[in-house]
């Protein structure tokens, strides 16, 4: 595999480059030639002119490309508005093909079905490079449906962009289907001698506490913790809801777990009602944090990526890096792309979203650098990985001020969250027994009873709900004879027995201290027979305990099951009545009401 890279400096210079490639190809054996064109301005006339010149000089070549926020040539940010790479596949077994489709929210299922059918009909395909216009549309459905592609197919690529980040206009194109402002182009690669390795680099780290997504519809994020989503950026970062919102938030995306990996999400716009437009769907109940970028952390991840790919020994490397990373680095953006050039010729562009298949899922990334490395034939021994000093990536050992501040904030946040968890636990727990307190166990009983009744009202089969209530027999005598310290031990060890028995016999059941020496067990999903059996086990297990001063003790238990239409208070009164009957029947027994 061979690659030519150059910036476009006008028609005459471009023709010279094409003719050099044509002359070179006449002396070589090759299977296919693929041009990739990146342009910072989605000018249709200019794009079509370039396509025409390539067709004129190299009619057998495949051509595809897109508009960008800047492009990468030989590992560095290109200074030209248009960049061109020509990749020559030399092995006779190597195969490539281009497929292009119009794409919008309404036809995404049709498009993905079409490309999946193509893959089914062409088992030689082992990798897909894609370019797609994504601004103003959610790509979640598109990505989810493409996960149905054979698991051995690598998929990577990027979203077309514009030199002006605030502009939605973008394009993709090919010499197969021409220019499109709403489309997707797939480059299919494969054959027995094509090998592909992919990876991705973030370097952005979570900052501050977790925030719960409380209202969302598709890719419109309405509320975070029941407040307008925009307020998160204003409250924590003082970012105004103005024309600069998109650019200001790119460096501070949300980070959250999805499909087994951490993803970053940056909003594309803030609406008048405080909602945020995201490039991909989020879901209610997700927990996210604001993230920040630290140069040292990023470069260390880059170093790991370079080392990984050097062992793979690719012939060419494709980089799809978010426009936010270009903004973050400014004039030093090549610091994170140039190191890959030491491994193999490196090209790519700055995107509005990055795509990479990981663990079978095609994920849409933001603020991420996605890398696709391609090789023909077996890997050649390249020796030791390049030294970081070769590209100015030495680390002084000093920790940056940003990282120190972020570490301090995160440590303080972790301590606060831990303290809040303790307070939350204390609010619902009984201080002595560590079981739920009366208020919490009663709340949970009411919640389960209401769920059961609501299911019945909808004509569904409700889950049964049973209660077990127990009381230590003659507990006042223990306190009066042996002291309250011994009485406390009786209650503590009774609670420990309940937790231990529930874990072993009935996981999912809940125990709480009802008051004094009375305890309640909620058994959702269990009928009265099951509850009676468990109550008998409780009774026997408690009888086995020997206390230091008061010896063996007994307890009485009442059992009942929720009746159709009954509310929680009535059900609790009936189990209390059952316990009363157990006391009146001689104690140390189980009575079912």
The residues annotated with a catalytic role in the active site are 517
CA nearest to 336, candidates 372, 369, 381, 288 = 369
Q: Is 356 helix (H, G, I), strand (E, B) or coil?
A: strand
Angle CA(497)–CA(503)–CA(506) in degrees, nearest 5?
Answer: 105
Q: Is 36 helix (H, G, I), strand (E, B) or coil?
A: strand
State both tokens at 239. 């970012």
DSSP 429: B
CA nearest to 520, candidates 426, 425, 448, 421 = 448
Strands 369-376 and 194-201: antiparallel
For residues 361 and 323, give the distance between their C-alpha atoms in angstroms, rounded to a whole number. Answer: 23
For residues 237 and 244, give the distance between their C-alpha atoms in angstroms, rounded to a whole number. Answer: 14
Inter-residue contact 191 to 262 (CB < 8 Å): no
Burial 260-273 (b: 16+ CB within 10 A, else e): eebbbbbbbbbbee
For residues 286 and 1, give the distance between their C-alpha atoms in angstroms, rounded to a whole number. Answer: 44
CA nearest to 554, candidates 479, 478, 488, 482 = 478
CA nearest to 96, candidates 136, 61, 71, 132 = 61
State both tokens at 83. 């960049």
Burial 462-476 (b: 16+ CB within 10 A, else e): bebbbbbbbbbbebe
For residues 63 and 173, give the distance between their C-alpha atoms in angstroms, rounded to a whole number. Answer: 8
State both tokens at 371. 């890398």
Inter-residue contact 29 to 90 (CB < 8 Å): yes
């Amino acid at each position: 595999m061979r690659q030519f890279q150059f910036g476009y400096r006008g028609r005459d210079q471009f023709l010279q480059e094409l003719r050099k490639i044509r002359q070179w190809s006449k002396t070589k054996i090759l299977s296919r030639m693929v041009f990739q064109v990146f342009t910072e301005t989605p000018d249709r006339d200019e794009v079509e002119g370039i396509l025409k010149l390539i067709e004129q000089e190299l009619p057998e070549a495949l051509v595809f490309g897109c508009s960008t926020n800047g492009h990468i040539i030989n590992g560095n940010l290109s200074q030209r508005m248009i960049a061109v790479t020509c990749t020559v596949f030399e092995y006779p077994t190597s195969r490539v093909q281009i497929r292009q489709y119009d794409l919008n929210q309404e036809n995404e299922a049709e498009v993905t079905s079409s490309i999946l059918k193509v893959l089914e009909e062409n088992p030689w395909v082992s990798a897909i490079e894609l370019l797609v216009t994504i601004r103003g549309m959610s790509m979640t459905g598109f990505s989810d449906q493409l996960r149905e592609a054979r698991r051995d197919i690598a998929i990577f690529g990027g979203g077309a962009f514009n030199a002006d980040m605030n502009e939605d206009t973008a394009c993709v194109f090919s010499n197969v289907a021409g220019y499109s402002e709403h489309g997707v182009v797939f480059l299919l690669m494969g054959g027995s001698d094509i090998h592909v390795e992919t990876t991705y680099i973030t370097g952005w780290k979570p900052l501050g506490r977790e925030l719960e997504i409380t209202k969302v519809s598709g890719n419109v994020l309405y509320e975070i913790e029941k407040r307008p989503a925009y307020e998160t950026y204003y409250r924590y970062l003082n970012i105004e809801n103005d024309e600069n919102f998109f650019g200001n938030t790119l460096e501070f995306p949300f980070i959250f777990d999805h499909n087994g990996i951490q993803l970053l999400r940056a909003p594309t716009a803030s609406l008048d009602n405080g909602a945020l437009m995201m490039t991909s769907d989020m879901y209610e109940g997700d927990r996210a944090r604001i993230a920040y970028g630290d140069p040292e952390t990023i470069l260390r991840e880059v170093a790991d990526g370079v080392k990984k790919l050097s062992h793979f020994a690719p012939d060419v490397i494709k980089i799809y890096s978010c426009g936010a990373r270009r903004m973050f680095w400014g004039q030093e953006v090549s610091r994170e792309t140039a190191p890959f050039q030491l491994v193999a010729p490196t090209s790519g562009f700055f995107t509005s979203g990055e795509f990479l298949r990981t663990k079978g899922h095609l994920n849409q990334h933001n603020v991420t650098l996605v890398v696709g490395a391609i090789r023909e034939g077996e890997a050649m021994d390249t020796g030791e990985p390049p030294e970081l000093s070769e590209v100015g990536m030495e680390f002084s050992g000093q920790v940056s001020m940003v990282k120190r501040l972020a570490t301090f904030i995160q440590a303080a946040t972790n301590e606060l969250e831990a303290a809040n968890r303790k307070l939350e636990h204390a609010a619902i727990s009984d201080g002595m027994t560590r079981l739920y307190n009366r208020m919490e166990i009663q709340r949970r009983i009411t919640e389960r009873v209401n769920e059961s009744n609501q299911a019945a009202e909808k004509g569904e089969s409700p889950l049964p709900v049973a209660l077990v209530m127990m009381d230590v027999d003659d507990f006042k005598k223990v306190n009066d004879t042996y002291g309250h310290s011994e009485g406390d031990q009786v209650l503590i060890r009774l609670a420990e027995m309940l937790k231990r028995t529930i874990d072993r016999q009935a996981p999912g059941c809940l125990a709480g201290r009802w008051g004094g020496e009375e305890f309640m067990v909620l058994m959702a999903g269990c009928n009265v027979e099951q509850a009676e059996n468990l109550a008998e086990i409780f009774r026997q297990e408690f009888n086995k305990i020997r206390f230091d001063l008061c010896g063996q003790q007994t307890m009485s238990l009442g059992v009942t099951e929720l009746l159709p239409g009954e509310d929680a208070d009535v059900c609790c009164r009936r189990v209390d009545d059952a316990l009363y009957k157990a006391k009146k029947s001689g104690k140390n027994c189980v009575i079912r009401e």
